[in-house]
Chains A and B, each alone.
Chain A
Amino acid sequence: MLAASVLADSAVEHYRGSFKNKAMLTPLIVAGLTLAMSLHGTADRRPMAHQARDASYLSAAVTGLLGTGFHIYNVTKKVGGLSWQNVFYGAPLGAPMAILLSGLLGFCSERVRANGGRRRHRVFNLPAGETVATVTALGLLGTSGEAGLLHFRGAFHNPLMALPVTLPPIGAGLLAGAVVNGGARPRGLARWWMRLLVGMGFAGVGFHAYGVSRNMGGWRNWSQNILNGPPLPAPPSFAGLALAGLAALELMREARNA
């Protein structure tokens, strides 16, 4: 899910930038690969990690880190340097982190798979549920930060634009709480909140579609306004993260019951 969102979003945005730098193709290839690998992983019933999948997930993580570096370079080389103008309209600083996240989450899922039927899954010798929950919580905070920046650029002209900067951080807090409590207390609220975020992620596409319609020419002028208006593929990244959060909560529950 996250990889699909990244693939579509970076495709649209880098297409908009005319792939001016050849490196701008990288995230498309890597996110496409990540998506293909996770589909492969889903179809693959064998309960073991796959080297090609691992390699692709790790390369996604590395791409995320490198992409962040590229985007920081792009922003700071512009006149005005690290200013609101360049953070708004230069390469988005937080975006490549999503591909890092999709790689990390994929890597975690491979570890869980490799553990087979064992109830206490571990990643890097850490409890799997807690690890995935922590990565997801950080991802929610980061994605929320990026939505906050871009919605600030849009002056929060619609009150609903406040949702992705308020709901996900609460979700991150609930996941963190579940980690800290070691699953001692009921995680019903956290689970419901993750489902809410999944819903928000999909509803966001609808809101962004409405946003596209409010540009000159509306949907009749789709070829321009999809590039120009709010990014349609961006909100589902919240849904992807929230699904990972649900999985983490499930892993923690299984671990506790084991």
Chain B
Amino acid sequence: MSDDGRHSPRARDGRAPDVFRPGGWVSMKEYSDHEAVDFVIVGTGAGGATLACKLAEYGFSVVALDAGPYFRPLEDFASDESEQTKLYWTDDRIVDGDNPLQLGSNNSGKAVGGSTVHFAMVSLRFRPEWFKARTKLGYGADWPIDWREMWAYYTEVEQALKISGPVNYPWGPPRPRYPYRAHPLNAAARALARGCEALGIGWTETPLATLSAPRGLAHPCVYRGFCVTGCSTNAKQSALVTWIPRALSAGAEIRDLAMVGRIETDANGLAVGVHYHRQDKWRFQRARNVVVAGYAIETPRLLLNSATDKFPSGLANSSGLVGKNLMAQANQAVWGEMDEEVRSYKGPPSLAITEHWNYEDDGKDFFGGYAYMSQGPLPQLWANTQATAHGLWGARLVQEMKRYNHVVGLKIVGEMLPQENNRVTLADERDQYGLRIPRVTYSWCDNDRRLIDHSIAFMSRALSAIHAKNIWVQEDDTCHLNGTARMGDRPDSSVVNADCRSWDIPNLWICDGSVFPTVGGANPSLTIQAIACRTADRIRALSRLGEVNLN
């Protein structure tokens, strides 16, 4: 069979793929559509999979739906960049604004496990002050959660994913030791380190969600380097190989190739289930609670597409903020060439990091922060980058590609500020399911530009300091998407409360990166999972008080 799960669902008939054994299966509990489950969860990425696992382990009945396939990494993932674009969400979308986003690769995923199946595994904690960015740092918005509470949930997620990190982390308040040790640095990471030492700032091994020692049936990382196109060894601790197997053994049902098109609400204004498309027809799953975990574009799209007469501007949208305050993260890079071979594509792409400019506020002419990491672009991506961002073609492009083994690069994950004009709305065009597609509008503000300029100047100095040659700047790139359903303390200025529960519909929850009021200069996956763990604990606590709809 050549079917790799993209054409017909694999999780059915009481079993789901065993991602650890070629051709293997694990048993799966199944619910019928008309049986109301405690929670139906839309999306199985960092937010949805984590919450599905935790809620199932707490004894709730859970069905989690994902629009994407249920891949078997050991069998379905090739060492081929083109083939692996199957992991991306490439459905039709419209992008506009002054700085239209490039959607469909590093900022989306369409698979059970979501974009964690191809994420770069960088697992950072937020700087504590970011949770009170407005009060303590004077920009953005405050989170309704205290950092100390988050610190405990970060620990839970780091343990659950067996994060490989440095023995001592140089920034921020103390954190427990990472469960696994850091990986050996590749030459690209050592180049970052030498640049940092030359400029007198700190650096460390990047905490990564990929194993440096065996774990159960998962092998330690073999430094194959195809991390961002899908790990074929299961060293990567994606939701697909961590939370999802746990969720299944705790009794959750996962439905792959199940696209949710609308959330149904009743006359009382409560959610009663979701309409979803699977195996060529629309179905309806009844549920006592609905959790939306579709990430920063699909989450607001679903809420807006679920508008009714009672909720004409979409669900959970009395504040008018659904879809607003979309925040990408800046992803600019500086590239150069070393005389010696670097072979930056060996191993995970970002083995070394400096969070200096996340924690140091002196010398900044902007709000927010950024981290920068060593890079290891795969050849096709690199040729694309040279052709587009660097504008090379023909003989010059060929010449440049011959220097591929000598390339060294530094790339930021930079904080962009929340702006209401950066938003997701509905276009009139419809997709293959007949659903209105999202329009994603994005423009940088002056602060975003100042942050980017600062980072480019600094990283250029770092590359010069290690005698890199032919240094050039990749000016326009973005990564992770957050915001669009922010959490807060008040119904008029936020979509959900600290428990990820919508202010308007008490049995509608949102649990993914869209609840972020600010994004910080750190990759968001660890924070999304920590929020999901907290949400599960809060749901359990509230249900014991009789405050969760379970009838």
- On chain A, the residues within 8 Å of B213 by CB distance are 154-155, 157
Report the separation of the CA atoms of residues A216 and B74 in the bound assembly, to the nearest whole angstrom: 10
A215 touches B220 (CB 8 A): yes
B184 touches A88 (CB 8 A): yes
Closest to A80 in B: B193
Residues of A within 8 A of B (CB): 78-80, 84-85, 88-89, 152-155, 157, 211, 214-216, 228
Report the separation of the CA atoms of residues A221 and B179 in the bound assembly, to the nearest whole angstrom: 27
A153 touches B181 (CB 8 A): yes
B190 touches A79 (CB 8 A): yes
- On chain B, the residues within 8 Å of A78 by CB distance are 190
Out of A84, A88, A89, A157, which one reaches B214, CB within 8 Å? A157
- On chain B, the residues within 8 Å of A79 by CB distance are 190, 193-194, 197
* Residues 171-212 (chain B) with a chain A CB within 8 angstroms: 179-182, 184-185, 190, 193-194, 197, 205, 212
- On chain A, the residues within 8 Å of B179 by CB distance are 155
Most buried by B among A85, A153, A154: A85
- A sample of 8 more A-B contacts (CB under 8 A), given A84-B168, A155-B179, is A79-B190, A84-B166, A84-B181, A85-B182, A155-B181, A157-B180, A157-B214, A216-B235
Closest to A228 in B: B222
Closest to A214 in B: B214
Closest to A161 in B: B213
- On chain B, the residues within 8 Å of A153 by CB distance are 181, 212
Q: Say whether B233 faces chain A, with CB atoms less than 8 Å apart.
A: yes
Q: Say whether B490 faces chain A, with CB atoms less than 8 Å apart.
A: no
- Chain B nearest CB: distance from A228 CB in Å? 8
Q: Say whether B469 faces chain A, with CB atoms less than 8 Å apart.
A: no
Interface size on B, residues (CB 8 A): 24
Most buried by A among B162, B167, B233: B167
Report the separation of the CA atoms of residues A211 and B168 in the bound assembly, to the nearest whole angstrom: 27
Report the separation of the CA atoms of residues A8 and B219 in the bound assembly, to the nearest whole angstrom: 25
Report the separation of the CA atoms of residues A62 and B168 in the bound assembly, to the nearest whole angstrom: 36
B190 touches A216 (CB 8 A): no
Report the separation of the CA atoms of residues A78 and B219 in the bound assembly, to the nearest whole angstrom: 28
B197 touches A154 (CB 8 A): no
A-B contact pairs, 25 of them (CB 8 A): A78-B190, A79-B190, A79-B197, A84-B167, A84-B168, A84-B182, A85-B182, A85-B185, A88-B182, A88-B184, A89-B184, A89-B185, A154-B213, A155-B179, A155-B181, A155-B212, A155-B213, A157-B180, A214-B214, A215-B214, A215-B220, A216-B220, A216-B222, A216-B233, A216-B235
- Chain B nearest CB: distance from A138 CB in Å? 27
- On chain B, the residues within 8 Å of A85 by CB distance are 166, 182, 184-185, 205
- On chain A, the residues within 8 Å of B235 by CB distance are 216
Report the separation of the CA atoms of residues A89 and B235 in the bound assembly, to the nearest whole angstrom: 19
Residues of B within 8 A of A (CB): 162, 166-168, 179-182, 184-185, 190, 193-194, 197, 205, 212-215, 219-220, 222, 233, 235
Report the separation of the CA atoms of residues A201 and B459 in the bound assembly, to the nearest whole angstrom: 50
- On chain B, the residues within 8 Å of A228 by CB distance are 222
- On chain A, the residues within 8 Å of B222 by CB distance are 215-216, 228
- Chain B nearest CB: distance from A178 CB in Å? 37
Most buried by A among B180, B193, B214: B214
Report the separation of the CA atoms of residues A215 and B214 in the bound assembly, to the nearest whole angstrom: 7
Report the separation of the CA atoms of residues A211 and B193 in the bound assembly, to the nearest whole angstrom: 32
Closest to A81 in B: B197
- Chain A nearest CB: distance from B510 CB in Å? 35
Report the separation of the CA atoms of residues A155 and B162 in the bound assembly, to the nearest whole angstrom: 10
B193 touches A152 (CB 8 A): no
B214 touches A211 (CB 8 A): yes
Most buried by B among A80, A89, A228: A80
Contacts A85-B182, A154-B181 given; indicate if A215 touches B219 (C-beta within 8 A).
yes
Report the separation of the CA atoms of residues A78 and B194 in the bound assembly, to the nearest whole angstrom: 10
Report the separation of the CA atoms of residues A228 and B212 in the bound assembly, to the nearest whole angstrom: 11
- Chain A nearest CB: distance from B334 CB in Å? 19
- Chain A nearest CB: distance from B123 CB in Å? 15
Report the separation of the CA atoms of residues A135 and B214 in the bound assembly, to the nearest whole angstrom: 35
Report the separation of the CA atoms of residues A157 and B216 in the bound assembly, to the nearest whole angstrom: 10
Closest to A218 in B: B219
- On chain A, the residues within 8 Å of B194 by CB distance are 79
- On chain B, the residues within 8 Å of A88 by CB distance are 181-182, 184
- On chain B, the residues within 8 Å of A89 by CB distance are 184-185
Closest to B181 in A: A153
Report the separation of the CA atoms of residues A89 and B167 in the bound assembly, to the nearest whole angstrom: 14
Report the separation of the CA atoms of residues A214 and B194 in the bound assembly, to the nearest whole angstrom: 34
The 5 nearest A-B residue pairs measured at CB: A214-B214, A89-B184, A216-B219, A79-B193, A157-B213
- On chain B, the residues within 8 Å of A211 by CB distance are 214
Report the separation of the CA atoms of residues A84 and B168 in the bound assembly, to the nearest whole angstrom: 9
- Chain B nearest CB: distance from A88 CB in Å? 7
Contacts A79-B190, A211-B214, A216-B219 given; indicate if A152 touches B197 (C-beta within 8 A).
no
- Chain B nearest CB: distance from A140 CB in Å? 25
- On chain A, the residues within 8 Å of B168 by CB distance are 84
Report the separation of the CA atoms of residues A152 and B220 in the bound assembly, to the nearest whole angstrom: 15
- On chain A, the residues within 8 Å of B166 by CB distance are 84-85
- On chain A, the residues within 8 Å of B197 by CB distance are 79
B181 touches A152 (CB 8 A): yes
B215 touches A157 (CB 8 A): yes
Report the separation of the CA atoms of residues A81 and B219 in the bound assembly, to the nearest whole angstrom: 30
- On chain A, the residues within 8 Å of B205 by CB distance are 85
Report the separation of the CA atoms of residues A89 and B215 in the bound assembly, to the nearest whole angstrom: 20
